[in-house]
Amino acid sequence: MSDTKLEAKALDILKDKIQLIQTGEGGIYLVGPIKLPVDLDGETVIFQWYCWLSRCQVTDNFQEIIDQLSSASLAEYQQSSVLVYGDFKNADEALIRMHSICHTGDIFGSQKCDCGYQLKTSMKNIVQHGTGALFYLANHEGRGIGLFSKAMAYVLQENGYDTVEANLSLGFVDDSRNYSDALNVLRILRTKPVTLMTNNPKKLDALQKAGLTLSGREPIWGGESAFNEFYLQTKVQRSGHLEE
């Protein structure tokens, strides 16, 4: 097949799997669902996976978006995505997690935080519940400060600073995470209320202010180790996290 024919065929395949979400500030291009078999403790679980890209440009001519991909250096800027399980659109009850990326905890299994534990547990909870979604938010590293700054914050923490002090002394606020794109995607996937897995009342508040319709909160506490005792204590004492 010629390159032109391959391109035309690709668009034909992709067009039914791309949605434009208009946000007022631009467009979110949502790709999916894609069937994703996931190994959860030795059991294969099928999730439906979606990934999105935010652009200033708003177009439903998706070829224009495809044409920009190869020169957009997207690997330099991570994209967020969501794993959906069960009849997420229609079920009366659904469990969701807005999980902030944690390179050290989620990927390396670092025990300096509880992120890896929360990621795995939230996926298992969703499957056990029967319906839900795990939003994996790629622009949230270090509560919004980025991986390099988080490394600097860790150096400061090795020298006596707590998590909040470390962020502040590097010129950041304690928490600069934004949930608006994730909520725009959630509204496409489900309009009924959801139960949010979190221990953080400020996150709950930020999400509700941004328009999340909530039916409840489920705690997600655990993953304690000798290495994260002070970190978890700081979450409770300085950031107001709930222990149950």
Ligand X SMILES: Nc1nc2c(ncn2[C@@H]2O[C@H](COP(=O)(O)OP(=O)(O)OP(=O)(O)O)[C@@H](O)[C@H]2O)c(=O)[nH]1
Binding segment toward ligand X, per CB under 6 A, in 11-19, 30-38, 72-80, 100-108: 100-108
The single residue among 84, 136, 200, 212 that binds ligand X, judged by CB under 6 A, is: 200
Closest separation between CB of residue 144 and ligand X, Å?
Answer: 8
Strand stretches in the chain, DSSP E: 18-22, 27-40, 43-55, 81-85, 95-100, 132-137, 194-197, 214-218
Q: Given the structure tokens 């409840």, which residue do they identify?
A: 216
Binding segment toward ligand X, per CB under 6 A, in 21-29, 60-68, 150-158, 210-218: 150-158
190: annotated active-site residue: no
With a CB cutoff of 8 Å and minimum separation 6, the contacts of 77 are none
Give the angle 176-178-183 at the CA atoms, nearest 5°.
160
115 touching ligand X, by CB under 6 A: yes
Interactions with ligand X, residue window 1-30 (CB under 6 A): none
181 touching ligand X, by CB under 6 A: no
203 touching ligand X, by CB under 6 A: yes
Toward ligand X, which CB reaches closer, 31 or 96? 96
Per annotation, catalytic residue among 106, 114, 162, 175: 175
Question: How many angstroms separate the CA atoms of 217 and 222, rounded?
Answer: 16
Helix (H, G, I), strand (E, B) or coil at 173: coil
- Residue 204 in contact with residue 175, Cβ under 8 Å? no
The residues that touch ligand X, with contacts defined as CB under 6 A, are 100-102, 113, 115, 118, 140-143, 145, 150, 153, 157, 163, 167, 198-200, 203, 220, 235, 241
